[in-house]
Amino acid sequence: MATEVLMPKQGNSVESCIILDWRVKEGDPISIGDVVCEAETDKSTIEVESTAAGTVLKLLFAAGEEVPVMQPILVVGEKGEKVAATTAPPEKPVDSQDATATVASVASAEVPKQQPDPVATSTGTAGSGGDLHISPRARAVASAAGVDTVTMVPTGPKGRIIERDVLEALKGREPLSPAAKEALVNQALQAPAQGTGIGGRVLVADLASAGAGKSTTGQLSVPTDFPGPVSEVVVKGVRKVTAKRMHDSIATTAQFTMNAYADASVLQSLRARFKSSDPELGLQKVTINDIILFAVAKTIRQFPYMNSHFLGDKMRTFEHVHLGCAVDTPKGLLVPVVKYADNRSLKQISDEFKRLAAMSIEGKAQPDDLTGGTFTVTNLGAMGIDTFTPVLNVPEVAILGVGGISMRAVEDAEGDFTFIPHIGLSLTIDHQAVDGAPGARFLNALCRNIATIDLLMAL
């Protein structure tokens, strides 16, 4: 009997995965535990193993397609066994932007000369109020296109209208808006080959231009020349998630950044001592960034309002510090989280962050390793940046940017100036949740703790 292999659930936050590459093909024999494909979540890459043994009868998705978790991705059974007709990949959920893009691609296609009459069918699936049995994706595409689904010929399982039925119906439509169609008939205007609406749809304004004798057809049909070759890539995976989160962060918060410099003399001295210490102590690989993470985790305990999530109508303040730290990976920006950082020693924070960073860079971090943060640190100091404007990792109310170490002139009691190493710190806060003065108090305390980091470690 045929068995479906499902896309496994990856943690509590992952809703879908993109199939990067199939490791098997239809007709291949497989065993339980064999890797069938490589898939990508929004933050990591995983290998999907077969949960059944037999012959691969059907691959339900192509490489590059997005699959909801706990949905079948392939069918395994006896060689020669037929796959039931109802076994088909579920249609992907779609939002209004995806639906509009789908409509646009169809609307810009060549319009056939004639449209065949719709074939009336009776599927017995119409519900009360004329709600036709239609998939969510098909309904979204039809809604975005403004097309009536009543006369469509369903080709999906059990007489269901699916996306391809809507797209087929759209192929026979003229790329004219309803108002443009009416104006075209009543005013005897000339329609351009392509309009300025979605997918080249002709609007009333386009008809007016054509009626005024402007040759918009030639202007719109010839693409603008750009110097040199141009390449395009689909925004997906980590880049797509980062783009959305960064945009949402700026759009939904009141961010402002304050900058300060902390005396880094003791910080550098301590780092040098660690580097030359006994290897058995395991401190030689402790970095400046590790020490900053330790200082942040200890300082936040004095300012609990900085360890919070802003949820619009309420603030959620956490007892423990779960410290996220941005990592530059081949796939893009990831933020692994050191859980219970406030309860860890410097060495424990250093070891845990290195483990998480390595997993992130290798694409092996688990979704739960990348969620649950209450405060984030991002470090660009190694790239020669002194200060910058870090973007909040919402719903967190603050993020610390760490810059490089540079020499700054400091005046002593006698009025003489001495150059002392300082590290740049940039604190972005959400002014909806934290005012400037409380944010400044936290940043000043952090600067003091970094300047006396040897004393902080003794507490």
What CATH code is assigned to 3-77? 2.40.50.100
pLDDT at 429 over 50: yes
Read off the pLDDT of each residue in 183-197 and give the average, rounded to a whole number.
Answer: 57
* 290 and 283 Cβ atoms separated by less than 8 Å: no
| Range(s) of the chain covered by CATH 2.40.50.100 | 3-77
How confident is the model at residue 238, as a pLDDT?
81
Hey, is 184 helix, strand or coil?
A: helix
How confident is the model at residue 304, as a pLDDT?
97
How confident is the model at residue 111, as a pLDDT?
38
State the first-to-last Cα distance of the chain, in angstroms, to the nearest integer.
65
* 86 and 158 Cβ atoms separated by less than 8 Å: yes
Read off the pLDDT of each residue in 138-145 and give the average, rounded to a whole number.
Answer: 67
How confident is the model at residue 144, as a pLDDT?
57
Of 348 and 101, the structure prediction assigns the larger pLDDT to 348
Classify strands 398-411 and 375-379 as parallel, antiparallel or unpaired: parallel
Of 405 and 137, the structure prediction assigns the larger pLDDT to 405
Of 266 and 226, the structure prediction assigns the larger pLDDT to 266
Q: Model's pTM, two decimal places?
A: 0.63
Of 43 and 266, the structure prediction assigns the larger pLDDT to 266
Tokens of 109: 């296609």
Most confident of the ranges 58-62, 150-154, 159-163, 394-398: 394-398
How confident is the model at residue 110, as a pLDDT?
40
How confident is the model at residue 11, as a pLDDT?
72
Read off the pLDDT of each residue in 133-150 and give the average, rounded to a whole number.
Answer: 68
How confident is the model at residue 191, as a pLDDT?
55
Q: Which residues contact 98 (CB under 8 A, 6 or more apart)?
A: 140
| Range(s) of the chain covered by CATH 3.30.559.10 | 237-458
Domain at 237-458, CATH class: alpha beta
Q: Is the dihedral of CA 369, 371, 376, 379 positive or negative?
A: positive
Read off the pLDDT of each residue in 195-206 and give the average, rounded to a whole number.
Answer: 59
Of 133 and 369, the structure prediction assigns the larger pLDDT to 369
Tokens of 370: 């990348």
Distances (CA, A) of 65 to 39, 87, 138, 264: 10, 17, 17, 49
Most confident of the ranges 158-162, 223-227, 411-415: 411-415
Tokens of 111: 């319009």
* 332 and 277 Cβ atoms separated by less than 8 Å: no
From 147-161, 271-285, 335-349, 372-386, the region with the lowest mean pLDDT: 147-161
Identify the DSSP state of 382.
G
Of 30 and 107, the structure prediction assigns the larger pLDDT to 30
Read off the pLDDT of each residue in 307-314 and give the average, rounded to a whole number.
Answer: 95
Of 223 and 203, the structure prediction assigns the larger pLDDT to 203
How confident is the model at residue 324, as a pLDDT?
98
Query: At what angle are helices 136-145 and 96-107 packed, to 10 degrees?
Result: 60
Furthest-apart CA atoms within the chain: distance in Å: 96
pLDDT at 176 over 90: no
How confident is the model at residue 1, as a pLDDT?
77
Sorting pLDDT into bands at 50, 70 and 90, what band is 192?
low
Of 99 and 435, the structure prediction assigns the larger pLDDT to 435
From 357-361, 376-380, 455-459, the region with the lowest mean pLDDT: 455-459
Sorting pLDDT into bands at 50, 70 and 90, what band is 116?
very low
pLDDT at 113 over 90: no
Q: pLDDT above 70 covers what percent of the chain?
A: 73
Distance, CA of 40 to CA of 14 (rounded, Å): 10
CA atoms within 13 A on the CB side of 407: 3
Q: Where are the alpha helices (DSSP H) in 276-345?
A: 288-300
Sorting pLDDT into bands at 50, 70 and 90, what band is 143?
low
Residue of 199, 196, 194, 77 whose CA lies nearest to 147: 199
Read off the pLDDT of each residue in 193-202 and give the average, rounded to a whole number.
Answer: 57
Distance, CA of 197 to CA of 107 (rounded, Å): 10
Of 220 and 431, the structure prediction assigns the larger pLDDT to 431
Condensed to tens digits (0 to 9), the pLDDT of residues 380-409 reads 999 999 999 999 999 999 999 999 999 999
Average pLDDT over the chain reads: 81
* 426 and 405 Cβ atoms separated by less than 8 Å: no
The amino acid at residue 436 is G
From 108-112, 421-425, 446-450, the region with the lowest mean pLDDT: 108-112
Sorting pLDDT into bands at 50, 70 and 90, what band is 177?
low
